[in-house]
Structure 1
């Protein structure tokens, strides 16, 4: 999408948050950190790889831009839209060391820490940090510690304030679900385990998901059995539909709407969807993404059931073939 179609929400030393930059204005402030979205802050995310790469590289090169707010924005943006970029690990490594110092001094509040946890978990990053071996001025030696463990210790200290906000403990629970799979030996403080238990799974099954479930269970040619909807496959990960195929292959079908992809490119998964698939895959399932682009439109589903079923079956077969190809 051309830059004139998006608003770049920026935070940098020379601009106020929320200033709209279009066209050449971007080049005047190369150290800005960008979140690329639609003109509405709540709109779906836009994907513009060259611009994102430039912004991430600018943060790496410009120490002036490394305050907590800018780094947090940069990491969240990288997790959401740059999860396949080679720049992302470098960005997290550079920012983690700075955040480790801020956490040691107790300068980060619960909201910032939860957002940092979300970005770190979604991007599947855990860089090592050099931290003092002791407390106070007497701590002259340093030791290497994983960033996520340092982050959990800081979150523990803010657990009471986080517990008072459902969006915060819900976001933290998502991060903990990720780490339960990607970092199974991670030592999670009991205070955070209790926070995770506060989260409840709310299942809203869409009409499209119901159609896909019905076809999966009523089409012998697919060779599937034990078709179930809204299944907890482990560590609180709920899958839209599960089924067992030939040779005992366990399938996890996810019926993904547009909100799971970049608004301007339906082939680009958002980071939170990509890490979901990664975690479910590590739990022993072959993830099959049945996307809105593959399925029959709602109009056809309502007016011509047989045609809609035929198109949906074709979409399912295509999605299963794509998933099998990725596995190989």
Structure 2
């Protein structure tokens, strides 16, 4: 299925059913009085976050979603049936905006999370509701109110713990294939990745994390060049970025350091928040270097970049250095989760 990360849909909640004005008409019961029932409430429209959907592609072909109208009231004080709600499954990580105003309605990040996006109309009242000591035979009734209608903009940001960042053909797809069951396209030419790929990395039976591969970023991506602008947003939810560098690029006039600096520049232009995320330098394709030159070449790259963070030397194709990298990532994420849990607890204690 084609990966789509933006879509517009129209949602229409059901109108409330009308109340009715009827009177009890039975043999031997004179002046039976009013017995008009209320209408039913209109159905509402909800978005539901589910795990088995990973794209917004379906909304390109099914863009209008309607809930059921409430049933009208009936005689004998019978209330109309409530309209059925319309529940729309969306991928985890879907952000919902009102298209006209840009107002953010919600962010669905947990399985089973539900968001009301259009409320059904309120039911109309039957004439029984208007009976009083001075109005024994009311003929008043009210109509149901209309349901909400609006156009929504849906934006998908994939949920992953780790994001891969790098120039085209830096080896991101090879890495995600080597450490997970994801199978993105791999070839000897750039731009083989055209949409984000997610893979689950299992460190052991009980510990795992999700890694995301996006299309390669090129110079000018922050202004819309290539696919970088379209997919850089998918890294905004990650807790760690792996910056992959090809230590021996084929047929390239750029040195690994020049390529790395371009990536860093584009990320900084795109988002300060993204630029400030923890980032590790991954020197890939060391299998192309003679063994006695690996340390010297890698040290030269690190020195020229003045890199202060963690550095790893790997070969995704030969699966060299990957075990240590994956275990260190798992440990980093666990420590981060512990800090976040502690912060949440401290915040709750302060509020309590």
Judge same fold: TM > 0.5, yes or no: no
- Which of the pair has the greater relative contact order for Cα pairs under 8 Å at 6+ separation? 2
Structure 2 length as normaliser, TM-score?
0.28
Structure in which a larger fraction of residues adopt strand: 2
